[in-house]
């Protein structure tokens, strides 16, 4: 019988959900951003997400953005925190003083509610939700009641993240979503960065100004980026904090791959065609983790001055639901 469970316990003294199905396991922290902080292949000892443990725990609690899969709603930066949609002016709090921008949204550190915890012969799963409404201190900046829900499913196929957003307000809203997914690279014990080859589904790079906002101009990929786009790149070839149009949408897989020649394993992170842009961050080529961040829309999308079908800005009507599914799994080389 396949080993499996879906249970509540604690992780570093905070409530946690532990999922197990066959060779895979995962840990979810509902009260810290609904963040899935661990996805492992227990048989091989591989840890695919950067986990906040030991000395990193305190910094994670203070700013839970560089571990696991933080939810960005809305994602990345907005010029002065201000934009206009449907004739309404939004004023998001400026929380990045050095750029005078709003960054990363309202929910990555919020307390989410555990709705379901279950397992059967096919899977182990957990559902968490968050209601952004009048009770949130930033509701005045974004006056829409929105229900966000994530279901994480472990099975023999790996990890599936099902996400939905429902507009329960009386007006259409500018919907923008991303994940600050932080991958542990290398992910296998005994490997180092020389064993790694990475693939990113990136097309043109968006030019960013000194405040890290897109100018609207497309730039050709550099040599290191071309290698990443070809599936055989080094994610630490240079310090990266860059923005790209996705190349894998409209029928493509839109998938990140990380191959470890020493471990003989390929890790795959599929996001589907709902995410039309990527941010890629590697903390000045740190050599231990990097963040391929899928986004539905461009950074500063409402202010860029390009058509919505280019920026990816989504108009979510009252009562409408938006859904997407991402997957993580591994395969032998």
What positions carry a catalytic annotation? 180, 293
Give the Cα separation of 259 and 268 in Å (integer): 9
Placement of tokens 């492992």 in the chain: 40
Question: Which helix or strand (DSSP H or E) is residue 37 part of?
Answer: strand 35-41
For 184, the token pair is 């542990």
Identify whether the C-beta of residue 42 lies closer than 8 Å to the C-beta of residue 24: yes
Please report the DSSP string for 166-231 in residue order. Answer: EE-SSS-EEE--EE---EESS-STT--GGGEEEE--EEEEEEE-TTS-EEEEEEPPPHHHHHHHTT
Placement of tokens 């043109």 in the chain: 204
Identify whether the C-beta of residue 102 lies closer than 8 Å to the C-beta of residue 94: yes
């Amino acid at each position: 019988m396949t080993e499996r469970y879906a249970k509540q316990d604690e992780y570093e003294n905070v409530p946690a959900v532990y999922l197990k199905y066959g060779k895979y396991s995962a840990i979810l922290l509902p009260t810290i951003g609904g963040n899935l902080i661990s996805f492992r292949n227990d048989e091989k000892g591989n840890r695919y997400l950067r986990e906040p443990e030991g000395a990193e725990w305190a910094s994670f609690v203070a700013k839970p953005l560089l571990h696991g899969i933080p939810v960005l709603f809305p994602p990345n930066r907005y010029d002065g925190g201000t934009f206009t949609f449907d004739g309404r002016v939004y004023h998001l709090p400026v929380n990045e003083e050095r750029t005078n921008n709003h960054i990363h949204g309202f929910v990555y550190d919020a307390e989410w509610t555990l709705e379901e915890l279950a397992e059967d012969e096919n899977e182990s799963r957990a559902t968490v939700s968050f209601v952004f409404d009048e009770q949130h201190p930033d509701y005045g900046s974004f006056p829409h009641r929105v229900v966000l829900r994530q279901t994480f499913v472990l099975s023999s196929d790996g990890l599936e993240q099902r996400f939905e957003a429902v507009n329960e307000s009386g007006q259409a809203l500018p919907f923008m979503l991303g994940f600050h997914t932080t991958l542990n690279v290398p992910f296998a014990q005994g490997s180092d960065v020389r064993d790694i080859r990475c693939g990113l589904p990136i097309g043109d790079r968006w030019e960013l100004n000194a405040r890290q906002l897109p100018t609207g101009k497309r730039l050709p990929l550099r040599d290191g980026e071309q290698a990443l786009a070809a599936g055989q790149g080094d994610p630490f070839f240079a310090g990266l904090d860059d923005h790209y149009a996705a190349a894998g949408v409209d029928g493509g897989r839109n998938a990140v791959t990380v191959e470890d020649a020493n471990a003989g394993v390929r890790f795959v992170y599929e996001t589907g065609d709902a995410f039309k842009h990527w941010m890629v961050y590697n903390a000045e080529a740190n050599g231990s983790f990097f963040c391929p961040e899928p986004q539905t829309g461009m950074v500063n999308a409402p202010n860029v001055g390009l058509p919505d079908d280019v920026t990816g800005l989504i108009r979510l009507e009252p009562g409408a639901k938006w859904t997407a599914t991402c997957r993580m799994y591994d395969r032998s080389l």
